[in-house]
């Protein structure tokens, strides 16, 4: 099914090139980028297991150096040090035998690419075939997508009833409301309400959203906050973590947080960056993260999309005269483009997959996304588009549905079967990805015949199995289970069990019951 979209011109915002470029100017050389990526006056350290707090206190002898925060699950301390002395303190702390590592806290930022042309429809959803997938699933409220960003407009009508409690890591005393717009735009692409007569439809509009604010009103933030938000998302049951942000240079703290979430079974998705260069930003560059490049309306990789060996898939990010429309703070809508916009398409897809098959692991979900991507030029995997443009319909995992789940038949010595000795099973798979099925019975049952015993089913093409009951040799209750197993690449086998019962008696006495009509009761 396809949702209807309406745009309210009075609240439609056009993001200007100037506003999108605030804090996002391309760095001219790696040395300058390195200096600019460092958060002044902050150092991150990880203590080795079992290190007493008193030992750390003895090292931090200067009154200007103190612990100002902690990421408890990672055993990481955030230190305040005199600005300009970060490197000196890192070297001093690295020399201590009880400290596993010491490092800079690095900046991350929202990844926008400006565009000043109007775009009048959600071409992006059509390109990835999301509108076709909505016939199969629109997402489950049991799946939570964490939006690790500038926050989310908590009062936006497109998120009504969809937001689960999040956290503001910039100002912890305040709710994770969006004072920038980037996070709201990203959240709308992933999961804005669809088919509600207004605005836009997100990829997984039935999923929930967890707003985690790690970027300030100018779109800037710190690795330590991103790491802390990742831990928060994991501990509060988010399955998909969307990170439309990034920075050049890695911290072990962020790497540890990413690894922690991945090992806990989360799907992590991040933007490659918008500088059009051969260097994927972090956290997208980590092996546990799906690094997402951006494509335009014509399925070409955009000029601004960073590339490299870490790129895994591509999704619509907008370019040229075609932007991506989505929700914006203040209850409105805006057009924008960038790898930030590409990323939530993949996050939404992950949510759709888990909505259909919550039993899948994050590795299996990831494989479904990559194995079904539409290959772009050049042929095969490449460092610009990875495995290609995501294809939502082809990514959806196959399901196995058998109806009915049980059949009972009564037969007498004259061979009269009630209701009939011939029945049919319908074997269905709602997804577009084919499912190979095979049937077998739990024990030899000469009173039961069925055909065929195997087949293929997929969206719109069901299999029918004919079941035939025959007269047993003696009276009694006969029971057997049929086990139908569905098999497909990239996912575990699926099974359904159908119970068949045959009750064989010497004589069946028909019972006549009155039929109740609107005129009263009449004997039949």
Q: Which residues are the active-site residues?
A: 149, 182, 340
Question: Residues 207-223, buried b or exposed e (16+ Cβ, 10 A)?
Answer: bbbbbbbbbbeebbbbb
Q: Is 77 exposed, middle or buried (0-12, 13-18, 19+ CB in 10 A)?
A: buried
Q: At what angle do helices 339-356 and 362-371 cross, to 10 degrees?
A: 120
Question: Residues 96-124, buried b or exposed e (16+ Cβ, 10 A)?
Answer: beebbbbbbbbbbbbbbbbbeeebeebbb
CB contact at 8 A, 158 and 193: yes
Rounded Cα–Cα distance for residues 214 and 286 (Å): 19
Query: What is the full DSSP assignment across 324-350?
Result: EEEEETTTEEEEEBSHHHHHHHHHHHH
Q: What is the largest CA-CA distance in the chain?
A: 99
Closest CA to 254 of 71, 42, 38, 90: 71
Question: Residues 29-43, buried b or exposed e (16+ Cβ, 10 A)?
Answer: eeeebeeebbbebbb
Cβ contacts of residue 166 below 8 Å, gap of 6+?
Answer: 146, 151, 152, 175, 176, 210, 211, 212, 213
Distances (CA, A) of 520 to 95, 477, 515, 517, 524: 94, 39, 9, 5, 13
């Amino acid at each position: 099914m396809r949702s209807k979209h309406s745009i309210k011109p009075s609240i439609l915002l056009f993001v200007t090139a100037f506003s999108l470029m605030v804090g996002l100017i391309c760095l001219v050389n790696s040395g300058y980028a390195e200096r600019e990526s460092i958060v002044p006056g902050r150092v991150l350290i990880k203590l080795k297991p079992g290190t007493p707090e008193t030992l750390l206190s003895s090292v931090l002898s200067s009154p200007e150096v103190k612990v100002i925060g902690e990421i408890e699950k990672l055993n990481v301390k955030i230190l305040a040090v005199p600005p300009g002395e970060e490197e000196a303190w890192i070297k001093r702390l690295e020399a201590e035998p009880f400290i596993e590592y010491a490092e800079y806290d690095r900046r991350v930022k929202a990844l926008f690419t400006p565009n000043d042309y109007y775009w009048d429809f959600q071409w992006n959803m059509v390109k990835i075939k999301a509108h076709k997938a909505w016939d199969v699933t629109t997402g489950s409220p049991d799946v939570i997508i964490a939006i690790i960003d500038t926050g989310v407009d908590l009062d936006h009508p497109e998120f009504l009833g969809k937001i689960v409690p999040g956290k503001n890591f910039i100002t912890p005393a305040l709710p994770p409301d969006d004072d920038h717009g980037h996070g709201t735009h990203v959240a709308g692409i992933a999961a804005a309400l669809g088919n509600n007569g207004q605005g836009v439809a997100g990829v997984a509009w039935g999923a929930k959203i967890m707003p985690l604010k790690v970027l300030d009103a100018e779109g800037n933030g710190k690795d330590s906050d991103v790491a802390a938000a990742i831990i928060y998302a994991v501990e509060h049951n988010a399955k998909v973590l969307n990170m439309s942000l990034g920075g050049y240079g890695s911290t072990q703290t962020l790497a540890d947080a990413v690894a922690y979430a991945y090992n806990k079974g989360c799907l992590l998705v991040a933007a490659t960056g918008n500088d059009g260069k051969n260097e994927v930003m972090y956290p997208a560059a980590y092996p546990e993260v799906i690094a997402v490049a951006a494509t335009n309306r014509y399925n070409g990789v955009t000029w601004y999309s960073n590339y490299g060996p870490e790129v895994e898939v591509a999704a619509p990010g907008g370019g040229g005269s075609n932007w991506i429309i989505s929700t914006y703070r203040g209850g409105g809508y805006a057009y924008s483009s960038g790898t930030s916009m590409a990323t939530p398409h993949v996050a939404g897809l992950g949510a759709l997959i888990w909505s259909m098959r919550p039993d899948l692991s994050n590795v299996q979900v990831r494989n479904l996304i990559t194995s079904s991507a539409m290959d772009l030029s050049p042929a095969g995997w490449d460092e610009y588009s990875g495995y290609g443009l995501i294809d939502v319909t082809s990514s959806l995992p196959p399901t196995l549905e058998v109806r009915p789940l049980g059949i009972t038949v009564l037969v007498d010595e004259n061979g009269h079967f009630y209701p009939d000795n011939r029945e049919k099973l319908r074997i269905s798979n709602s997804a577009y990805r084919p499912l190979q099925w095979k049937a077998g019975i739990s024990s030899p049952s000469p009173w039961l015949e069925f055909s065929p015993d195997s087949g293929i089913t997929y969206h719109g093409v069901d299999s029918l199995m004919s079941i035939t009951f025959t007269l047993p040799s003696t009276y009694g209750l006969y029971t057997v289970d049929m086990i139908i197993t569905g098999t497909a690449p990239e996912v575990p086998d699926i099974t359904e069990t159908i119970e068949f019962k045959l009750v064989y008696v010497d004589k069946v006495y028909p019972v006549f019951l009155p039929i109740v009509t609107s005129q009263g009761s009449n004997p039949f």
